[in-house]
Structure 1
Amino acid sequence: MKTILTSLIFTAGLVAGQGAYAQLRVEISGVGSNQIPVAVAAFADEGQSPTQISAVIKSDLERSGAFKVIDAGTINDPNNVDYGAWKQRGADAVVVGTVQKLANGSFDVRYKLHSTVQASKLSQLDQSAPQQYTRLAAHKIADDVYEKLTGVPGIFATRIAYVKQEGKAFRLYVADADGESEQLALSSNEPIFSPSWSPDGTKVAYVSLEQKKPVVYVQNLVTRQRTVIANEKGNNSAPAWSPDGSKLAIALSKSGNTQIYVASASGGSLRRLTNSNPPVIDTEPQFSADGESIYFTSDRSGGPQIYRMNVNGGDVKRVTFSGTYNISPRISSDGKSLAYISRRNGNYQLYVLDLASGQEQRLSDTTNDQAPSFAPNGKYILYATDSGGRKALAMVSVDGRVKQRLTTQAGNIKEPTWGPFMK
């Protein structure tokens, strides 16, 4: 299968003329319960590429916690893998590939995945990658390995967005899921918060205080064009996209207490969904994966809890019952799990709730967690927390076994959001 790397290249103009910034450092702890042993060989002639393809693949697979990576050294003939020998070395699968520089300056990156269990080739992927996207080519290979061996789509080629505060400056960044290739989307002397990816991954909605009040914007990451979505009296906050990308659910205090509205993704056409009596605070809306429901935080029961209503604002039902303070609902892509922040014994920690069984699990061991965001495959959750006196990003698998910390030497990083799969 031959592909040309066009997906995820939407950020090509994102930082034109701007310098690189400090990258995030990833620290990993814990492993999956049943790791798959995979041998990854050095790609033939990968030294001519600006990216060491095999090293990125190894790092991706190791970070997932799902694989035990075996260094396969160099395999001279990628088309001739000795299945028996690699099976004896404990590998269930072998990754091999080649890199060739083309006359136009791009790179032909080819890979094959072999199964020692089945003694056959499982997959192959051929990509033509411009020089600046060889790292993306490696992420796509790791995604293919992950999916072929686990049955679940990989998320290594996806993107994350977050806010970094450095002194009095606030900056909205977009980066690879591993924190590399950090790019600046917006810089302001006023706070930026609540970024939210559009379903097609080309836009980000967020709240900015640059007008000395909270205003909701949508920014196109390709053209950098910004659109004001809500600049009503009072606070305009908490934008969340509908699955089809046509609408945004937002929280507005234009009529007094904060309530939930829906607006067109191109701006305007406000429609109120909640109208609590007596007045309460309804905020932090999130569309369900099928677009038929909206989850939100409300204090209508006396303290903040998470509720669900239909997309038109009716049939409100309470969802969280454990603990007296539950906020920041985020729903998984399959609609089966709800992530949220719960305050228990004075600690703000990340929990996940199985919506069918009602069983909840605490996923973090930190004490001041914020802003959870599911990976698009539903297997990992990104969130902000305190680390060494600073705000940092953390990532955890939904079973709680694999934990990662993403830190930087300068500034506080917070308000993370995980982007969608790119087609």
Structure 2
Amino acid sequence: MRRLYNSLFILALMVLGLQTAQSDDVIDVIGGQEGAMPVAVIPFAVSGGVSAPDQDIARIIGDNLARSGRFEVLSRDELVARPAGLDDTRFSSWRGLGMDYLVTGRMEMEDDNISVTFELLDVFRGNRIEGRRYQLDPRNLRSLAHAISDIIFEEVVGLPGVFSSQIAYVEVEERDDQRLHRLMISDADGHRPREVLESPQPIMSPAWSPNRDRLAYVSFEAGRSEIYVQNLRTGEREKIASFRGINSAPAWSPDGEHLAVTLSRDGRANIYLLRVSDGDTRRLTDHWAIDTEPTFSPDGEQIAFTSDRGGRPQVYKMAVNGPGGVERVTYDGDYNARPNWSPDGRRLAMVHRHDGDFRIAVHDLESERTRVLTDGPWDESPVFAPNGDMIMYSAGGSGDSQLRTVSVHGRANQTLPRSGGLTREPAW
């Protein structure tokens, strides 16, 4: 029901004709690649009877690095040479282009496997930062490209890469006058999609368990909202919330033992803590307003959520255990919703109404400043990457929904490929 609640909030604001109340604490950082590190990713040399493989490993690496917003990847049309490694690299040429780094590599066939070597070169110092050799089945080249991208990102940026991770999302497609909803999993770049579940009824709010072996989600296959947990290894699934009224917006606790959910079993939409092992529930909020879209802090001690208890949707937080009560977090603008806590616990990504459009913003919990990252007009469902350096979200609204990524610095806003219909509600 989370999308329904968001729609109700948006509709109420539109009917009232409210305009966004801008604050000096709102910073618009939408923009290009300023500050990104220049890198050239050279097409890998092919030898030893190897024909050009179907997967362009250098292209995949370059696309990954560019999508992170941390790197500005040189176009292949501008390459002044195509070295295969340190020994045949003339660094002066690359310094003249302003490059900071080079990525080079070569491939050759060894029996039924392919040998791949890559090197990360420092243009300024003229030396090798990292170099590795792999032997693998050619069908695994895309996975290797993601792994190499992770290595490069961590060596240069100092944060773990996320290119080998997976995302979950909902795909909606019209077929034979019927709307089909699919729960999907793919690589973080949107490639290699795999269907987990298909239903003619809506599927919403997928959420990864901490150890990545289960997905919680909301399904309407019984004609009303129910929460399921699906084991991705066995394919088995369990219905864990089917109370009277609303069952929605599941969010895993960091220990994987509980889900924070929205239930209206007592007549009002409140946040509950649900123990996955036995379904035991404990109510965390008790208010006449709509309390929904919970997200755990990384230490599991707090929950942030959306509520219209102040008259308009805003983000609040509260302790999971012990005293403290509910504290309002956001005050900038008349609409802030769908919070997602960053892995370091310092920020919340959220949907923020800005200049009349719904955009993705990041709220710093210490400085209490909000930065707008996207253009809108219908951006929703933000989720941090596991390293906290990128955000994935759904853009375009219900008419042309697609997944996009943006760096937390507001750079490299890119669209992920779609294999079928509309894509929405990402989980990373």
TM range, normalised to the smaller chain? 0.7 to 0.9
Q: Which amino acid aligns with 1:34?
A: G
Deviation at 1:102, TM superposition (A): 4.4
- Paired residues of 1:109 and 1:137 also in contact (CA < 8 A): no
- Say whether residues 1:209 and 2:220 are aligned partners: yes
Deviation at 1:120, TM superposition (A): 2.4
Question: Residue in 2 aligned with 1:54?
Answer: 58
> Cα deviations across residues 244-294 of structure 1 (Å, max 9, x unaligned)?
222211111111101111223345122222233xx3322111000121111
How many Å separate the matches in 2 of 1:86 and 1:281?
57
254 and 398 in structure 1: CA distance in 2 versus 1, 3 angstrom threshold? same
Q: Which amino acid aligns with 1:74?
A: R
Question: Residue in 2 aligned with 1:367?
Answer: 377
How many Å separate the matches in 1 of 2:31 and 2:42?
24
Aligned partner of residue 401 in structure 2, secondary structure: strand
Seq. identity, %: 41
Where does 1:152-231 land on structure 2 (aligned, <5 Å)?
152-167=159-174, 168-231=179-242
Aligned partner of residue 334 in structure 1, secondary structure: coil
- Say whether residues 1:41 and 2:49 are aligned partners: no
347 and 114 in structure 1: CA distance in 2 versus 1, 3 angstrom threshold? closer
How many residues are paired up? 387
Q: Which of the residues 242, 245, 248 maps onto 1:237? A: 248
Aligned partner of residue 133 in structure 1, secondary structure: helix
- Say whether residues 1:327 and 2:337 are aligned partners: yes
Deviation at 1:207, TM superposition (A): 0.4
Deviation at 1:145, TM superposition (A): 1.4
160 and 414 in structure 1: CA distance in 2 versus 1, 3 angstrom threshold? same
How many Å separate the matches in 2 of 1:126 and 1:224?
35
Question: Residue in 2 aligned with 1:114?
Answer: 121
Return 133-142 or 297-306, whichever deviates more. Answer: 297-306
> Cα deviations across residues 159-193 of structure 1 (Å, max 9, x unaligned)?
22211111210011111222111111111111000
261 and 57 in structure 1: CA distance in 2 versus 1, 3 angstrom threshold? same
Where does 1:96-115 land on structure 2 (aligned, <5 Å)?
96-103=104-111, 105-115=112-122
How many Å separate the matches in 2 of 1:64 and 1:360?
21
How many Å separate the matches in 1 of 2:147 and 2:125?
23
Where does 1:18-37 land on structure 2 (aligned, <5 Å)?
31-37=32-38
Q: Which amino acid aligns with 1:286?
A: T
Name stretches of at least 5 consecutive residues in structure 2 with no aligned partner.
Answer: 1-29
- Say whether residues 1:303 and 2:312 are aligned partners: yes
78 and 273 in structure 1: CA distance in 2 versus 1, 3 angstrom threshold? same
Question: Residue in 2 aligned with 1:265?
Answer: 276
How many Å separate the matches in 1 of 2:233 and 2:53?
26
Aligned partner of residue 42 in structure 1, secondary structure: coil
- Paired residues of 2:406 and 2:413 also in contact (CA < 8 A): yes
> Cα deviations across residues 380-421 of structure 1 (Å, max 9, x unaligned)?
211112179412222222222321123548522111122xxx
Q: Which amino acid aligns with 1:188?
A: S
Question: Residue in 1 aligned with 2:68?
Answer: 64
Q: Which amino acid aligns with 1:65?
A: G
68 and 350 in structure 1: CA distance in 2 versus 1, 3 angstrom threshold? closer
Deviation at 1:204, TM superposition (A): 1.5
How many Å separate the matches in 1 of 2:371 and 2:97?
37
Question: Residue in 1 aligned with 2:286?
Answer: 275
How many Å separate the matches in 1 of 2:330 and 2:398?
31
Q: Which of the residues 337, 356, 363 maps onto 2:366? A: 356
What's the Cα RMSD here?
A: 2.4
Deviation at 1:341, TM superposition (A): 1.3
Q: Which amino acid aligns with 1:347?
A: D
Q: Which amino acid aligns with 1:31?
A: G
How many Å separate the matches in 2 of 1:382 and 1:200?
20
Name stretches of at least 5 consecutive residues in structure 1 with no aligned partner.
Answer: 1-28, 419-423
How many Å separate the matches in 2 of 1:188 and 1:257?
28
How many Å separate the matches in 1 of 2:209 and 2:113?
30
Deviation at 1:361, TM superposition (A): 1.7
